A and B are shown apart, each in its own frame.
Chain A
């Protein structure tokens, strides 16, 4: 464990019910606690698995246990598993210093498909995400995960992208025991996904 340049680091993981948001925060949180940090995780829930907006708030500290909710405008890092949800979180928790990592693959809301007016233009969404972040990165996590044979691997690809850019105080090595513990039957696939995330992530232009 090391002292953090900002304490706590406030990380928001944004996605849609069923994507694996809770799993992402668990992987990161377990690894950080094993490294000696205090971690508090709060989740929007009730809508997990049911198509609603889901986010996890992680507060990472070298000093103490913080509350499970991040106040308005106080995110340091946003991990966006879906573009609309990334923008939604930036609206509430973003600020001039926030760093964002986004998976550009949309998940269409059912009420929206019903209204017929279509999902917002992806390029326009990404443009807004970029303008509302001090730095923004993009990684085509779902596309890569589907190539690897399982859409859920997108989550580990996104974590790889976070690590690559040192957005949380974790190394790939610190994740290995957590992956072995949480996914004993899919260690190789998850490790490969973690590396793929580090390779594929790029600055959002």
Chain B
């Protein structure tokens, strides 16, 4: 991770989009930043946390997104520029607060929400497009078209937030937030932040205190007036620009990563003289006059944007109000099926859409090469399914859950949640997880399943959550379950980190985002205080863990908790050497004749174990194996051995 606060104005650096945004926030002079981690947004706060002390700003990983945005708003209310970051799932959970702060307005200093959308849901449970929130709730929204803009838009957006007294949103997508590109650094100002909440009515303030959302209709009208003023400002903004001929055969209207793909496509098709690109950086409120000017110069228009047809929709809606004698355009995009309104945009998708509209022939490679491509046997490029890392405690935890539920014999199942352990939907976790929704939903669902015995339901329900998820959104569900006598087992996989997103701290860990000692909140104490039976086990002790889960499942009443505690292997291996020397005795390994039919490589499937088809034996891949030792306990023949390394 580069040092985002390096004092080298004018120098060129290679930053990921998130680091560029964080740098932009520093250059904008923020004093407060809060976030809950979520791909692809996590590095914004992560990189700020590295420099917070030196820059004398406050940075926190909040327990969840809703607390993060409310905490950030307080800083704005007290006169300190605030940044709040989250992924689109997080934005969904803060809509209620956004719907009121858009009415109340903000404090004297600005607040910006940076939301990372994940088209194609590379690391998400959905691929929601955040942009419609801006139209729905009347919030200015910008989207960077490259890495430099990801930085440069930040000071601009704080200016908008403060000039018009409104919270503002920057949307980015995975291919900007998580891609890397050149950044020319600017200056970071030295600001002595001074926080004070003015409690008296200040008629000169953009919105008189107290900061409140009532009377709502009046304030709703006021927000619409503010948005009209923001629209005027956006009309002449340099983040909106046009490249191409005066009268193009085709006008592309694009934003975000679509801007880069559109340029690549025009370049690949050598169609610079035929195609113009109107790149928008300020997406809402729509810079209508600018758009109308460009629409008047082309007959055909295609929209290139990630996920939903947002610009496509709002611009077509806008043109529907044109007078009958106005110029009419032929619009192409997602509504004409030239592009998909699901999955992420790619340069190939843009090339295909353009060649279809303009009837251009394009073949990326010759027929002879394509024959070679087609001649590659499917088995030579087999799929690689995702799995838990070698040595991951989750593999052992799900092994224990699987065996406990099998021993119980009542067709029990797991309701899943969001984290690395989501992979238990597949072979990584032996297909134990049977429901998968949003953060916290597994425990909420378990509450409901656990009330269905009156209708004949008799299957054990096990809700499996991570430690960070527990604090984020499980506690209310456990309260509900204990209070209402719901029948389920909650399993908390406590690996001591928010592992999926990059090991951020959470309320149960030792340090704050700023690296200071935290007040550690004990999850077992919370669960016991709520009134749940709590058992704690080490998933690498398979026997004890399996027995404990079976005992909890068989209790068959009330909400009870198992905490499976074992440090994330990726965290452990940074601090410690391999604990064991692992070996396989080829004389004991029965291979295909194993009574359990190659339990280790066919079912347990740790990437460190390889099936050597030629020898008919299992062996260990020394590069991959982390020597956790768990496989030694599952081998029925005792062929796999672990020997402690002193």
Contact = CB atoms under 8 A, between A and B. Distances in A.
A39 B180 contact: yes
Contacts of A169: none
B623 A110 contact: no
A50 B602 CA distance: 18
B390 to A, nearest CB: 8
Given A50-B386, A114-B605, A108 B610 contact: yes
A52 B386 contact: yes
A175 B334 CA distance: 45
B179 A94 contact: no
A69 B261 contact: yes
Given A50-B423, A70-B347, A111 B180 contact: no
B475 interface: no
Nearest to B614: A118
B376 A50 contact: no
Chain A CB within 10 A, most for which of B178, B386, B613: B386
A146 interface: yes
A161 interface: no
B179 A43 contact: yes
Chain B CB within 10 A, most for which of A45, A68, A88, A117: A68
B389 A18 contact: yes
A70 B592 CA distance: 44
Contact of A68 (B182, B260, B610): B260
Nearest to A108: B610
A171 interface: no
B601 A67 contact: no
A105 B606 CA distance: 19
A52 B380 contact: no
A33 B384 contact: no
B39 A132 contact: no
Given A50-B388, A73-B364, A87-B376, A39 B14 contact: yes
Interface in B494-545: none
Interface string A37-70: 0111111111101111100000000000111111
B312 interface: no
B14 A29 contact: yes
Given A18-B389, A71-B351, A116-B611, A51 B180 contact: no
Contacts of B613: 116-118
A170 interface: no
A46 B623 CA distance: 22
A3 interface: no
B601 A113 contact: yes
Given A33-B182, A39-B180, A71 B389 contact: no
A91 B376 contact: yes
A84 interface: yes
Nearest to A64: B263
B383 A109 contact: yes
B431 to A, nearest CB: 13
Interface in B409-442: 420, 423, 427
A47 B386 contact: yes
Contacts, number: 196
B14 A30 contact: yes
B369 interface: yes
Chain B CB within 10 A, most for which of A73, A142, A151: A73
A74 B611 CA distance: 36
B147 A65 contact: yes
A152 B14 CA distance: 23
A4 interface: no
A108 B613 CA distance: 12
Given A51-B386, A71-B264, A118-B613, A94 B347 contact: no
A107 to B, nearest CB: 7
Contacts of B263: 66-67
A113 B605 CA distance: 8
B366 A96 contact: yes
A95 interface: yes
Contact of A51 (B123, B365, B368, B387): B387
Interface stretch (A123-131, A187-195, A196-204): A123-131
Given A33-B12, A52-B386, A116-B602, A96 B380 contact: no
A40 B181 contact: yes
B374 to A, nearest CB: 9
Interface string A83-124: 010011011001110000000010111111110111010001
Given A51-B607, A109-B385, A113-B601, A66 B264 contact: yes
A80 to B, nearest CB: 12
Contacts of A184: none
A114 B427 contact: yes
Nearest to A59: B264
Given A33-B12, A96-B368, A111 B146 contact: no
A16 interface: yes
A67 B364 contact: no
A110 B427 CA distance: 9
A90 B39 CA distance: 29
Given A110-B387, A118-B613, A67 B264 contact: yes
Given A41-B181, A45-B174, A50-B386, 8 more contacts: A33-B13, A39-B181, A40-B180, A47-B384, A51-B607, A112-B384, A116-B602, A116-B613
Interface of A: 16-18, 25-26, 29-30, 33-34, 36, 38-47, 49-53, 65-74, 84, 87-88, 90-91, 94-96, 105, 107-114, 116-118, 120, 124-125, 128, 131-132, 142, 146, 151
19 contacts: A17-B386, A18-B624, A34-B12, A43-B179, A46-B122, A46-B123, A51-B386, A53-B384, A67-B175, A71-B268, A73-B365, A84-B381, A91-B376, A108-B610, A110-B605, A111-B605, A113-B610, A128-B372, A151-B623
